[in-house]
Structure 1
Amino acid sequence: MASFQKYSTKQGQLWLFKMDTGINPQTGKRQTTTRRGFKTKKEAQTAAAKLEQELVNGLLINNNNFTYQDIFEEWFTNHSQTIKTSTIATIESKFKSHILPRFGKLKIKDITKAYCQRMINEIATNIASVNDIKIQANQVFKYALKMDLITKNPMEHVSIPKQPNELLSEHSEVDKRNYWTKEEIKHFLELTKNELSYRDYVLFHLLIYTGARKGELLALTWEDIDFEAGSLRLWKTLFYNKGKFIIQTPKTKESKRLISLDPKTLSLLKKWRIRQREANMAIKNTIDNGNIAFTREDGTPIRLAYPNEKLNIVIKKHNLHPITIHGLRHTHASLLFEAGASIKEVQERLGHTDVKMTMNIYTHVTNTLKEQTATKFQRYIEL
C-alpha cells in the first residue's frame, strides 16, 4: 500500500507517495520507492495504482541499477556450491576471459538482444567453443529473470554462427581425422618403446589399449588394478587447480566403470610397478601420494599437459599424422568397432553418457569399412 503526503516547494504545494516495492534480491531487505511532483492527491493516487499494478505484473524491475557483474556474483555464489572444483575453475575462466569483459559493467536491464548477438558473433571469431560461452552467459540472464530483475532474457534467441570448418566439404574431414589406423598405432608404440622412458611407454600403451581419459589414468592407483581378475577400475580423475593436484570423482555415473585388461597390458603394468618401487627405494622416496601408478621421479603426480607434450614431440619428430590425446581414445573405439565390438560394449568401455557420442565414432568406422568393400571384391574376382 502507498502512503501519500503533501509537501511545499517554490512552485507551491505538491504531492508525493511512498510505496514498498518488495525484497531487494541482493541485500535480502525490503525496499521502498518515493515518487514526487504530483499537483493533486488524485494524480498521486493514480500514479501509485499504476506502479502497484506494474509490480504485480512483474513489469517493474526492483533496483534497476544492478550490473551484469552484480548478478553474476550473486548467481555464482550459489551455483558454485553445487558443482565440482574443476567445473568451478572452468566456469570462472570463461567468465573472466570472454563474458565479463563484454557484459560485466552494463546494467542488466539495458542489455539488448542485438548486443548479445553482436558479442556472440565476436566471440565466435576467436574461439570454436562459442556455444559453451553462450550457455554460461545465459545462466546469469536466466537467474536475473527468475529473480524478477529483468522481464525478458535477451540471450534466449541468440544464434550461434557457423564456424568456417563447418562450411567445408566432407572431404576436408578426411584430412582432419583425429584418430590413427591400426598400422599407425603399431608404428607409434614401437617409437615410444624405443625413444621414451618405460613409464611413458606404458602410459601411452594404456591410453591406447583402454580408451581411458588421461585424467583417469593419471589418477590411477595400484589398488585400482586387479592383476588376478585382469581388470581396471576407473572411478576418479586428476585435476590441477590453484597450485594443487586434486583427485575427484568424474562428472557422470557412466564414467565410473570396470574394464578388462589384456595379458600384454597386465604384463607391462607389472613390470612398471616393479621398476617404480625400485626407483623409489633407490632415492628413498617417502612422499605419500596415495600409491599413484604414474608419477614423476619425486613421487608427485604427473602434469595433465605432460602426455599432450610428449605426443606432439613424437608426432613432429617422425612426421606422423597429427592427432590429440583425445584422438587416442577415439582410436581405441574405432579399432574396437573394426574388431567386431558392439555399440553397447564400446559405450560402456569408454564411459560415454550418451550413445550418440559412441554412434558418431561408429558412423565413421562403418563408412571406412564400406569403402573397403569394393577393394575386397576386386581382390576376390581377380584371384
Structure 2
Amino acid sequence: MKMYKTDKDDDLYYYFNAKKEKRWLYRYRYYDAFGKRREKSKQGFKKENEAYRALLEVKTAVLNGDIKEVENENLTISEWLDIWYETNKNQWEISTCENRKLIIETIIKPLLGKIKLTKLDKVTYKRLFINELLKEYSPGSVAQYHATFKISINAAVDSEILRRNRFNKIIIPQPKKESENFYTASELREFLEAFKRYENITNYTMVELLAFTGMRRGEAMGLKWSDVDFEGLTISINRTRDANGIRSPKTKNSYRTIKVIGELITQLKVYRKWCKELMISFGKHLSEDDFIFINKSTTKPISHTVIRYAIDRVTKKENLKRITVHGLRHTHATILISKRIPVKVISDRLGNTPEMVLNTYGHSFKELEEESVEAFADALAL
C-alpha cells in the first residue's frame, strides 16, 4: 500500500484502499520506558481530521507518560480479566478465586468481553452490563458483579493501562428489604392456593418445595429423584443448578439432608407419577438420576427464570404481595422464627451458619425479644 504524507503532520498519511477510496492513517514512533523504539499506527479513517485527532491523543498520552495506555489500546476486557486473574490469584483466598473466576467467565465476559478496555464508557457499561443483569438477577447479585468488575478496573488503573476508574460512582438500585420480602403463614397459604389454580404442576410443586423447605432456587433446580427419601421424609441437597450449569452447593454448610412434611412428600409423589407419564409419552423412562423439575414440552430441566415469571403472573392476577423467588426462603425462615425454633436448627435447615441467620433475620428476632420482655413482665404480675 502506497502512503502519501499530509501537510498537517509528519506522522499523518493518506492512501487509497482497494476500492480506490481515499483514507487516512497515522504512524507514530516513540520510545517506551525501557528506551526501546516502538510504533503506534492506525488506519481506515474516512476523514483527515479524525485521523489527526487520534494521532494527537496518542502523542499526548506518550508525552504525559501514559505509554502503557497507548500500548494496550487494543486490549479487550476479556484479555485484561485473564491477565488480572492470573496475576493475582495466588494472593487471594481459594473461595475468592472461585467466586471471581465464576463471575468473570459466566457474567462479565459474555456481556463485555469483546469490548476494548480503554473504550468502555459509563453509558455503555450501564446499558450492556448493569441493565441487562438487572433483568435476570437481584440487585444484590448485580452489585456483587459490579464490585468485582470495579476491582479489576482499579487494577488496570494501578497498572497504568487506564487513567481512572470511570465506573466507581455507578449506583445499583437497592434490593427490597428482606423484612418485606416474605409471607406470613396465612399469606403463604393464600399464595399457594392461587398458584395451584393458575400454574402447571411443575411450577406449583417447585414453589411448594421452596416454601416448605427454605431451599435456594439453584438447590431445588439441582435436585434429582435420588435425593428424595419418600419413606424417611427427607430431601438431600448435593448440588446446585442454574443458567451457568451444575456445580457444588454454595458453601460446605449447604450440603445437608432435611426433614420435610408429609404434604410435600404427597405432592412430590403426585408429581413423580406425572413425570413418569410425561416421559413415557416421549418414549423415555424416568430415572432416579433425572432432575426433578422438568419442562412439559421437552422433558428437559426447567430454566432458572421459570419460577420468577410464574410468581409475577400469580401475584399480579390475584393482587397478592409480590415477593421474589428467594422470598420463599425468607418466608420459611421467618415462620420458623415466629414458632421459636432454635437458631441452630434453622441455620442447619437453610444451609447457613447461625451468625448468618441472625444477621439476615435480625428484625424477626427483635420482635421476639420484645415479646419475651412482655411475657416476663406478665409472669411477674401473676
Please report the TM-score for the alignment, with normalisation by the length of structure 2. Answer: 0.63
Query: Deviations 1:227-258 (Å, cap 9, x if unpaired)?
Result: 233221112122235xxxx3222343232222
Query: Deviations 1:180-202 (Å, cap 9, x if unpaired)?
Result: 11110011122223333333322
2:150 matched to which residue of 1? 137
Q: Is the 8 A contact 2:183 2:328 kept in 1?
A: yes
- Name structure 2 gaps, 5 residues minimum: 1-30, 39-64, 90-96
1:66 matched to which residue of 2? 72
Equivalent of 1:219, from 222, 233, 236? Answer: 222
- 1:187 matched to 2:190: yes
- 1:365 matched to 2:364: yes
Within-5 A mapping of 1:213-252: 213-240=216-243, 246-252=245-251
Q: Is the 8 A contact 1:211 1:332 kept in 2?
A: yes
User: Could you tell me which amino acid in structure 2 is paired with residue 210 of structure 1?
Assistant: T
2:118 matched to which residue of 1? 104
- Name structure 1 gaps, 5 residues minimum: 1-17, 22-31, 36-58, 107-114, 167-171
Distance in 1 between residues matched to 2:144 and 2:293, nearest whole Å: 35
- 1:310 matched to 2:313: no
- Offset of 1:273 from its aligned partner? 1.4
- Offset of 1:141 from its aligned partner? 3.7
1:46 matched to which residue of 2? none
The alignment-based identity, stated in percent, is 25
User: Could you tell me which amino acid in structure 2 is paired with residue 299 of structure 1?
Assistant: T
Q: Is the 8 A contact 2:78 2:112 kept in 1?
A: no
2:275 matched to which residue of 1? 276
Q: Is the 8 A contact 1:343 1:362 kept in 2?
A: no
**How has the CA–CA distance of structure 1 residues 227 and 125 changed in structure 2, closer, same or farther, with 3 Å as cutoff?**
closer
Q: Is the 8 A contact 1:285 1:299 kept in 2?
A: no
Moved more, 177-186 or 229-238: 229-238
- Offset of 1:345 from its aligned partner? 2.4
**How has the CA–CA distance of structure 1 residues 375 and 125 changed in structure 2, closer, same or farther, with 3 Å as cutoff?**
farther
- Offset of 1:272 from its aligned partner? 1.8
2:258 matched to which residue of 1? 259
**How has the CA–CA distance of structure 1 residues 185 and 120 changed in structure 2, closer, same or farther, with 3 Å as cutoff?**
same
**How has the CA–CA distance of structure 1 residues 324 and 71 changed in structure 2, closer, same or farther, with 3 Å as cutoff?**
closer
1:89 matched to which residue of 2? 106
**How has the CA–CA distance of structure 1 residues 86 and 218 changed in structure 2, closer, same or farther, with 3 Å as cutoff?**
farther
What is the SS of the residue equivalent to 2:341?
coil
- 1:342 matched to 2:342: yes
- Which of the two has higher C-alpha Rg? 1
User: Could you tell me which amino acid in structure 2 is paired with residue 342 of structure 1?
Assistant: P
- 1:150 matched to 2:160: yes
User: Could you tell me which amino acid in structure 2 is paired with residue 194 of structure 1?
Assistant: R
Q: Is the 8 A contact 2:218 2:304 kept in 1?
A: yes
1:75 matched to which residue of 2? 81
What is the SS of the residue equivalent to 1:340?
coil
Number of equivalenced pairs: 303
User: Could you tell me which amino acid in structure 2 is paired with residue 312 of structure 1?
Assistant: D
**How has the CA–CA distance of structure 1 residues 371 and 160 changed in structure 2, closer, same or farther, with 3 Å as cutoff?**
farther
**How has the CA–CA distance of structure 1 residues 73 and 209 changed in structure 2, closer, same or farther, with 3 Å as cutoff?**
same
1:27 matched to which residue of 2? none
1:295 matched to which residue of 2? 294
Distance in 1 between residues matched to 2:102 and 2:148, nearest whole Å: 17
- Offset of 1:295 from its aligned partner? 0.7
Distance in 1 between residues matched to 2:161 and 2:32, nearest whole Å: 21
Q: Is the 8 A contact 1:120 1:130 kept in 2?
A: no
What is the SS of the residue equivalent to 1:299?
coil
Query: Deviations 1:293-330 (Å, cap 9, x if unpaired)?
Result: 11112311111111111111110111001111111111
Distance in 2 between residues matched to 1:70 and 1:94, nearest whole Å: 12
Distance in 2 between residues matched to 1:71 and 1:306, nearest whole Å: 31
Distance in 2 between residues matched to 1:163 and 1:62, nearest whole Å: 31
Q: Is the 8 A contact 2:279 2:286 kept in 1?
A: no
1:43 matched to which residue of 2? none
Query: What's the Cα RMSD here?
Result: 4.6
Please report the TM-score for the alignment, with normalisation by the length of structure 1. Answer: 0.63
Q: Is the 8 A contact 2:214 2:330 kept in 1?
A: yes
**How has the CA–CA distance of structure 1 residues 373 and 93 changed in structure 2, closer, same or farther, with 3 Å as cutoff?**
farther
Q: Is the 8 A contact 2:157 2:164 kept in 1?
A: no
**How has the CA–CA distance of structure 1 residues 140 and 316 changed in structure 2, closer, same or farther, with 3 Å as cutoff?**
same
